[in-house]
Amino acid sequence: MKAKLLKRKEDSYIRNLAEPLDLVDFTSNDYLGFARNKTIFSNAFELLKERGVTSNGATGSRLLSGNHGLYMKLEEILAEFHEVSSALVFGSGYDANVGFFSSVPQRGDFVFFDELIHASIRDGIKMGNAKSYKFKHNDLEDLRDRCLSKSNRSTDETEIYIVTESVFSMDGDSPDLRKLSSFCIQNGFNLIVDEAHAIGVFGEMGKGKVDELGLQKEIFARMITFGKALGCHGAAILGSSELKSYLVNFARSFIYTTALTPHSVATIIEAYHYLISPKGVNSTQKLRENIDYFKDRVHVNGLDSFFVPSHSAIQSCILPGNQHVGSIAKNIQHTGFDVKPIFSPTVPKGRERLRFCLHSFNTKTEIEKSLEILSHNLNVYG
């Protein structure tokens, strides 16, 4: 352990649990400000009182004593809102991805995943028995070539799963989901889309990229999380009723963990109610306006070449080198803006970056000033 920690320090990549910074937020995943929303907080408390719920904890897994009534209400809301047959709530996005990918693809199946897919999906795949291969980021031609060269459907029972994200967590970009979906339908493949960073940002009332493109009925499974734009905690897998039943029986991260507390589930319910309200719709619109304004100011400041093209709330400025990006991040933080560096190996070496997360509550002045400071630092330090 000492040797590995020492190596991390030498590589300028040692993680620490730092004190929260009282700075302008360009770091959190709270895209719509729901985590700080007092109305959602109060409404969740009122829902618990209305239901006569006084329990502080779930008391067990959902298969034992933890499947309280609010769970059924939430999963009905999710299925209706996201236009699917069923929804199954997990304790976190990590649990959802690990549970799905460790149990659904079987021995003899094939999983092809985007090379920049989230670590939770990679971990789940590693725990499963299917063969897996990565394909170049957002490259349909490379995926097609790898499917032809690697997979061999020797029996009708062999399944092929294609895995991507609708918005990638580090680059903030998106694949061509329409073309990817058509490719999967033509070949009888199962498309799986992680929508963690799209919910609340894209689509009507923030339903996500899949909804925005009208692909709800073409996706085998979607992963959504509540810890980002919804400002809560937990996640869900959206799909068929058969998929839900299968996960209840075979997803170990679902079976062997304590359920979310009634308060957590009530908060998710009220976050969805707020999302579709006029104030929630206004928050989504304000976020989209801030994304457009940020991209405009990037261009005005001559920073286009540093940023990964993105229309999402995640805007990444590539600054190679852990020490280099760390130093510039500290300089920006010292001026009052919380912009975090992302080091390798979290991202590939040479692709270290500053990751700006935009929010509905960021002001245009804050956006403009933060990019002016970034531009100044790049002019001084290269």
What secondary structure does DSSP assign to 305-358, as a single string?
GGBPP-SSSEEEEE--SHHHHHHHHHHHHHTTEE-EEE-TTTS-TT--EEEEEP
Q: If you average pLDDT over residues 348-357, what whole number do you get?
A: 96
Which region holds residue 25: left if phi is over 0, alpha if psi is between -120 and 50, else beta? beta
Compute the distance between CA of residue 367 and CA of residue 191 in angstroms, rounded to an integer.
36
In sequence order, what are the residues at sequence separation of 6 or more whose Cβ sits closer than 8 angstroms to the Cβ of residue 126? none
Statement: 39-275 belongs to CATH 3.40.50.2020: no
Percentage of the chain modeled with pLDDT above 70:
98
pLDDT in tens, 6-63: 988 887 778 888 888 899 999 999 999 999 999 999 999 999 999 999 999 999 999 9
Kindly report the CA angle at 343 between 375 and 140, in degrees rounded to 5? 90
Instruction: State the CB neighbour count (10 A cutoff) for residue 69.
Output: 11
The pLDDT value recorded for residue 103 is: 98
User: Could you give the C-alpha distances from 283 to 28, 33, 78, 266, in angstroms and in order?
Assistant: 16, 8, 20, 21
The pLDDT value recorded for residue 25 is: 97
pLDDT in tens, 289-303: 999 999 999 999 999
The pLDDT value recorded for residue 382 is: 62
Q: Report CA torsion sign: 96, 97, 102, 104.
A: positive
The CATH number assigned to the domain with range 278-381 reads: 3.90.1150.10
The position carrying tokens 């493109």 is 213
Compute the distance between CA of residue 367 and CA of residue 296 in angstroms, rounded to an integer.
10
Q: What is the DSSP string of 21-50?
A: P-SEESS-S-TTSGGG-HHHHHHHHHHHHH
User: Could you give the C-alpha distances from 241 to 11, 101, 221, 237, in angstroms and in order?
Assistant: 47, 17, 11, 11
The position carrying tokens 């920049």 is 116
Cβ burial of 50 (10 Å; 0-12, 13-18, 19+) is exposed
β-strands 235-239, 314-318: how paired?
A: unpaired
101-114 burial code (b ≥16 CB/10 A, e <16): bbbbbeeebbbbbb
Which region holds residue 366: left if phi is over 0, alpha if psi is between -120 and 50, else beta? alpha
Q: Report CA torsion sign: 340, 342, 343, 349.
A: negative
The position carrying tokens 């839900």 is 244
Phi then psi dihedrals of residue 324, to 5 deg? -65, -50
Nearest to 97 by CA among 197, 232, 223, 267: 223
User: Could you give the C-alpha distances from 47 to 69, 165, 168, 287, in angstroms and in order?
Assistant: 12, 33, 34, 28
Flag whether pLDDT at 156 surpasses 80: no
Q: Report CA torsion sign: 316, 211, 241, 193.
A: negative
Yes or no: say if 267 and 38 are a contact pair by the CB < 8 Å rule: no
Compute the distance between CA of residue 188 and CA of residue 34 in angstroms, rounded to an integer.
39
Q: How far apart are the first and last CA of the chain?
A: 35
In sequence order, what are the residues at sequence separation of 6 or more whose Cβ sits closer than 8 angstroms to the Cβ of residue 338? 21, 23, 24, 25, 26, 27
The pLDDT value recorded for residue 153 is: 63
Percentage of the chain modeled with pLDDT above 90:
91
Q: At what angle do helices 364-381 and 278-300 cross, to 10 degrees?
A: 30
The pLDDT value recorded for residue 362 is: 98
Band of residue 148 on the pLDDT scale cut at 50, 70, 90: confident
**Comparison of pLDDT for 20 and 161, the residue scoring more:** 161
β-strands 353-357, 314-318: how paired?
A: antiparallel
- Average predicted confidence (pLDDT) for the chain: 95
Where are the alpha helices (H) located in the chain, listed in sequence order?
A: 2-10, 38-51, 69-81, 93-103, 119-127, 140-150, 177-187, 209-212, 241-250, 252-255, 262-275, 278-300, 322-334, 364-381
Q: Which range, of 99-103, 160-164, 276-280, 377-381, averages the lowest pLDDT?
A: 377-381
The pLDDT value recorded for residue 154 is: 56
- Domain definitions of the chain by residue range: 39-275, 278-381
The pLDDT value recorded for residue 21 is: 80
